[in-house]
Amino acid sequence: MTIGTAERRRTIAARALRWLRRRRALHGYVTTAPSPQAALDLFAEEWASRLPAPLRDLRAGDIALFEDPRITWAAGVLGGCAGKTVLDLGPLEGGHPYMFEQMGAEDVVAIEGNVRAYLRCLVAKEILGLRRVSFLCGDFLSYLRTSGRRFDIVNASGVLYHQRNPAELIALCCKAADALIIWTQYFDPDVVASRAWLRRRFTVVEPLEYEGFRYIGHRQDYRKTAYLPWYCGGNASYSHWMEREELLACLRFFGMTAVSVAFDEKDHQNGPAMAIVASRRPSENRAAGDPAN
């Protein structure tokens, strides 16, 4: 979100004030009868996601993350999720973990580092009655560096472009699973040059490396966006975006030989974006029990 005109600044300030007033609810009491809406209203003005049918009449957010066509497409490419284990990075409000459970996943582990987003996940889990999803509060990079657990699928949607070294996240995901689902924004010089608000964010180009993969990182500064109360981006003041072809090359460098791309949108409102399914071919998959590294 770019802060520009005086009118836009006033709109943001008014929303922030409503958010601060609503936040006091966590320190008080609910005086109405128990209901899903009462729980959702603990985080009013913060929800991004619209709840799925038959709960769409409940007031939450507007984005259909509980019915996300990108996840439906990715599951189709991978032959479904039934009986599989899934690691979901940055679930935000639980939309994608919900979809994986609905598709028959055996076990879904979802890791959220934003404290208030994590609490919203727990609200959504209770309202939707999720039974095969575990939400963990913490940093997923730290988890991937130390856990050693392997999954059938890692879902890294909406997180790669928030990393300071995105190649590290790709490499760690490739060690954790033989199939990845990614939705991410990427750097396109022509698109950035054509949008003034994007140009202001990208001012530095830096050479980066991880475990032998060398690439160019385009530093993206969060600027004032990081100070908005509903911000759910990275935990640093900046991140690096990869260019499209380098991103795909990175997946192949770390062992993913089958790569499919869809929803490739150069005109996405927040910058170019695409969905990716990457996997090892069956003959290349590690046998169950093999070490992750």
User: Average pLDDT for consecutive 10-residue bins of the chain (293 residues)?
Assistant: 56 60 64 95 92 94 96 97 98 98 98 95 98 98 96 98 97 98 97 90 94 97 61 77 98 97 95 97 47 34
User: What pLDDT score was predicted for residue 27?
Assistant: 65
pLDDT score for 4: 52
**19 is a domain residue:** no
The answer to whether residue 124 sits within a structural domain is yes
Sequence-distant (≥ 6) Cβ neighbours of residue 246 within 8 angstroms: 215, 216
Name residue 146's amino acid: T
pTM of whole model > 0.95?
no
What confidence score (pLDDT) does residue 282 get?
63
Which domain does 85 fall in, by range?
64-284
Looking at residue 291, what is its pLDDT? 34
What distance in Å separates the CA atoms of residue 115 and residue 23, rounded to the nearest whole number? 13
Spatial distance between the Cα atoms of 152 and 202, rounded to a whole number of angstroms: 36
Contacts of 133 (CB under 8 A, 6+ apart): 94, 97, 98, 100, 101, 108, 110, 125
Residue 110 forms part of a structural domain:
yes
Cα–Cα distance, 143 to 63 (Å, whole number): 28
| Nearest of 287, 279, 272 to residue 255 by alpha carbon | 279
The angle, 0 to 180 degrees and rounded to 10, between the axes of the packed helices 244-253 and 166-176 is: 40
Q: For position 264, which CATH number holds?
A: 3.40.50.150
Domain assignment present for 31: no
Q: Within a 10 A sphere around the Cβ of 191, how many other Cβ atoms?
A: 15
Does the residue 41 lie in any domain?
Answer: no
Asked whether residue 113 is domain-assigned, the answer is yes
- Burial class for 136, CB neighbours closer than 10 Å (0-12, 13-18, 19+): middle
The reply to whether omega before 166 is within 30° of 0 (cis) is no
Q: Are 128 and 120 in contact (CB under 8 A)?
A: no
Give residue 203's pLDDT: 86
Query: What's the confidence (pLDDT) of residue 65?
Result: 97
Torsion of CA 284, 286, 288, 289, to 10 degrees: 160
Classify residue 3: in a domain, yes or no: no
177 is a domain residue: yes
Question: For strand 213-221 and strand 202-210, is the pairing parallel, antiparallel, or unpaired?
Answer: antiparallel
- Nearest-Å Rg of the Cα atoms of the chain is 19
At 290 the pLDDT is 37
Total of domains in the chain:
1
